[in-house]
Chain A
Amino acid sequence: MSPRATTGARAAGGTADYLDQRTGIGLAVKSFARKIFPDHWSFLLGEIALYSFVVLLITGVFLTLFFVPSMGVVTYDGPLATMRGQEMSEAFASTLHLSFEVTGGLLMRQIHHWAALLFMASIITHMMRVFFTGAFRTPREVNWLVGFVLMILGLAAGFTGYSLPDDVLSGNGLRITDGVVKSIPIIGSYLSYFIFGGEFPGEHIIPRLFTVHILLVPALILALVGLHLFFVVLHKHTQYPGPGRTDRNVVGYPLFPVYVAKAGGFFFVVFGVLALMGATMTINPVWNYGPYDPSPVSAGAQPDWYMLFLEGALRLMPGQGTEWVIGGFTLSLNVLVPAVVVPGLLFTALALYPFIEAFATGDKREHHVLDRPRNAPVRTASGVAILTAFFVLILAGSNDLLATHFDLAINDITNVFRALLFVAPVVAFWATKRIALGLQRKDRELVLHGHETGRIVRFAHGEYVEVHKPLDDYERWLRVQHEPRRPIEILPAEDERGVRRKGYRRDLLRQRVSRFFYEDRVEPVTPRELAAAHSHGAHDSLPTEGSAPAQIGSDGAHRGPDDEPETTDSTRIDVVHG
């Protein structure tokens, strides 16, 4: 230590020495402090999820200190005039108390609720980013599954928390849950008793939801968030394609100090924005809804946004003829299909997608450079199709609001959404695939012919061309770095001696899936193609100075070869051509 070291530096050194002697933390600091992370705005989506979870923990702890998770009935005698004298559960009364008599309580409640909505929104968009860029590929399939389970846990956390105030809106939500659970064949009635501790609503559901909401689910989320981040460190973060970025390196900035400042700062940004939302936007004003009572219901009732797709599915399913009685037992397909089968399929497809794509490609290599979505047209189109179905269901879950806001008949809206649920994803798939292929063609065009410059040149023999500026090496690399993916070839069904080959059926299936993914494709430009394009259209990149061809003047008049060459923009040429 230098003699001129400050007191602070000496104290820090002493602490470090003390810690290292007992924990060997020096090794961890050496390996992690300057660890490199790549930079991109879309990597912040997962961070938003993490930070809104931290905000949920902070505000949640505050709320637990005032909330009473009890269904015991009390008569309200607090300051809120509209509620005075009403019978309500202690849960509802304590929600009113912490909103109206605890200074800052309402702010914490509103931040907590907004943070929950943002938590789910950022999880879904983070998942979209991972999906569309192919970040789930080897070696990250397991982490995709961890993230998938986190999303389900997020839904569970949101759902259990939403119901805690025991207001009439969330109470009816619980009643819908009860109805859905009862529709499950054989065990439905018992599952309903399992959840409610007897008949709906009973007196157990709020305390049970509370335990699940503040202990079980957050503990699981914390553990899985730890695992999720452990994998990020283990695999090192993926990076977008670009010059110098390969599957064998990671290019970016060091954790300390850049990401400590940026990511740490971003936590405060997220907290700040949530505080602003909690300050200025009322959310879930339960004092307007009133305590739960099995009789009343409000029109225009909506669950939180992440539950809307389920609500929409329930609303769209036609009821007539969809309840079957088999051997005296009732099978409610009108509930079972939208509330259990549809989300079941949606979630299973989502969870299994990395494995389906790996099966189609037969690719077992590690991928650390992300795909540009256009370079995986079928994946991108599949993702957009799933999202389209999701959005149709979300809109269907708001069909009553659409009806009142746009003065439309609820029956017409519902019928249109019933059709759209099947049609829109197909159209979206087709359109997205075409757009992706089109963008790839545009990339090829750019690489082969360069940027349009707007300079029109006329040759001595009268030919007009527009001068194109070739891409530099760095620009070009982004558009040619990806590997072309082609449908896999398989061995024939029989070997040369005419014996049926083992595993042929599996190969055939693999080939079919692979064709679906990669039959239609646009491959990146090869150096040979670029060389050929340049030789055929070399005049595209004519230099301006001292060139023989005459050019079009701004007045549109032809000039002789002796005149000073002059360029004009491409809009001007239209004048000449009339």
Chain B
Amino acid sequence: MSNEPTSADLTVHDGEHALPERFEDPGLGPHVARVGDTDPAAAKRSERQVVAMFGLSVLGTVGFLVAYFVVPADGTVEGVRLSNLLLGLGLFLAMFSIGIAAVHWAKTLMSDHERVEARHPQRSDAATREAAVAVLQEGAKDSGIGRRGVLKGAVVSAVALAPLSIAVPLIGEVGGDWNVSKFRHTVWTKGRKLARDPNGTPIKASEVTVGSVFHVIPEGLEEEEHWIEEKAKAVVLMVRLDPAVLKEAPERKDWSYEGIVAYSKICTHVGCPVALYEQQTHHLLCPCHQSTFDMADGAKVVFGPANRALPQLPITVDDEGYLVAQSDFHEPIGPSYWERLK
């Protein structure tokens, strides 16, 4: 095309009718030769590099084996760390070098001429489709399924019902006794002592100083038949607050003892143990999803995804001064579920 800015040029372009709607594919570009394609010395060099990398892999494997025999896992954190490092580095060299060698070989020494293969439409051609339909029709006719309606019904019912023999016992047994009302109760009963988690020693009210926090389990928990399930429901967090800051609902006035309050430690959101207590703000934070409860105000939710306050465990002291439960929780502990209030 002429580059001269002439008026003749302009006319030609404006009157251009022969131009296609779209550009045409110029086709594959010319092949660009690699250094190794033209220079035998460079190809030889690549070959030596590939050989060296495979050699490095062998060294890696040998290193791994040496490390395995010389530095076995000895049960200490430091020893295992060293063993892990040496074995891992050996394995890394062994594997990585093979990979790099193969890729380098392919990129520098194998042919890099692009090749073209034709694609064919996924769709079968019309004749094949017709033949396929004809074959199916013929087969259906042979089976006589169209004419024998009762047979069709019998096949469908038998095949549909047969899996029940697997499904029914599976569903019957997989959920244990299926008694979901166990969610409602914990092992706390009237007079059961509050004990330290995890050693199980009972706590005297006099030992609980203002501002201190106790992780609590019921005394004698380990003797329960399903102690871990019971522990999962019965854990309690207990703090002693300055009576001046403690707000109590009138009906719960006697659930605490001289500023000592006990609440379920299981988050009402999705059930994590709510374990982070901040003394200054008397806030209790769940480390899983950051629901925050105010221990001085009925463990109400002040922030986060939980909706309900933590259930309170009514407590008092026995004759010897030990803290004891007055009863079980008055509502199911932990996350909400469909029939929770039923």
Chain A interface residues toward B at CB < 8 A: 35-36, 78-80, 99-107, 110-111, 139, 172, 175-176, 178-180, 182-190, 192-194, 197-202, 204, 234-236, 243-244, 246-254, 257-258, 261-262, 264-273, 275-276, 278-280, 287, 293-301, 311, 314-323, 325, 328-332, 334-335, 338-339, 366, 368, 399-400, 410-411, 414, 473-474, 476-477, 480-481, 525-528, 531-532, 534-536, 538-539, 541-543
Contacts and interface: CB of A to CB of B under 8 A. Distances in A.
B26 A294 contact: no
B322 interface: no
A311 B198 CA distance: 29
A190 B180 contact: yes
B305 interface: yes
Looking at chain B's contact residues, the main secondary structure is: loop
Nearest to A250: B117
A189 B1 contact: no
A275 B91 contact: yes
A199 B315 CA distance: 26
Contact of B273 (A100, A269, A297): A297
Given A103-B83, A244-B29, A258-B106, A295 B100 contact: no
A272 B92 contact: yes
B270 A107 contact: no
Given A182-B337, A332-B335, A110 B273 contact: no
A247 B88 contact: no
Contacts, number: 371
Contacts of B197: 295
A543 B26 CA distance: 25
Contacts of A179: 267, 269-272, 334-335
A265 B20 CA distance: 46
Interface in B1-20: 1-5, 9-10, 12-14, 16, 19-20
Given A176-B271, A476-B23, A410 B305 contact: no
A297 to B, nearest CB: 4
A190 to B, nearest CB: 6
A201 B83 CA distance: 35
Given A101-B73, A334-B305, A36 B115 contact: yes
A258 B270 CA distance: 53
Interface in B180-212: 180, 182-183, 197-198
Contacts of B9: 535, 538
25 contacts: A79-B74, A79-B76, A80-B75, A103-B87, A172-B272, A176-B270, A183-B337, A189-B338, A190-B175, A243-B25, A264-B102, A265-B99, A271-B95, A276-B89, A301-B287, A318-B305, A320-B301, A323-B307, A330-B337, A330-B338, A338-B305, A414-B304, A481-B23, A526-B22, A526-B23
Interface stretch (B41-49, B118-126, B127-135, B240-248): B118-126
B68 interface: yes
Contacts of B340: 330
Given A186-B338, A334-B306, A272 B180 contact: no
Interface of B: 1-5, 9-10, 12-14, 16, 19-23, 25-29, 68, 72-77, 80, 83-85, 87-89, 91-103, 105-107, 110-112, 114-119, 121-122, 171, 174-178, 180, 182-183, 197-198, 215, 217, 226, 228-229, 231-233, 235, 265, 267, 269-273, 275-276, 287-291, 301, 303-308, 334-342
Contacts of B306: 319, 334
Nearest to A34: B115
Contacts of A332: 307, 335-337
A102 B12 CA distance: 83
A268 B95 contact: yes
A537 to B, nearest CB: 9
A316 B289 CA distance: 8
Given A295-B235, A299-B276, A321-B307, 6 more contacts: A104-B73, A182-B337, A190-B178, A251-B115, A366-B122, A526-B19
Nearest to B308: A323
B114 A329 contact: no
Contact of B103 (A103, A265, A273): A265
Contacts of A189: 180, 183, 337-339
A474 B337 contact: no
Contacts of B72: 103
Given A201-B232, A235-B122, A477-B26, A272 B95 contact: yes
Contacts of A279: 84-85, 87-89, 91-92
B226 to A, nearest CB: 7
Nearest to A98: B73
A474 B28 CA distance: 8
A534 B95 contact: no
A314 B29 contact: no
Contacts of B85: 279-280
A344 B75 CA distance: 45
A243 B117 contact: no
A190 B336 CA distance: 14
Contact of B100 (A197, A234, A269): A269
Contacts of B91: 107, 272, 275, 278-279
Contacts of A338: 305
A80 B272 CA distance: 28
A175 B270 CA distance: 7
A539 B288 CA distance: 68
A400 B94 CA distance: 40
Nearest to A89: B228
A543 B27 CA distance: 28
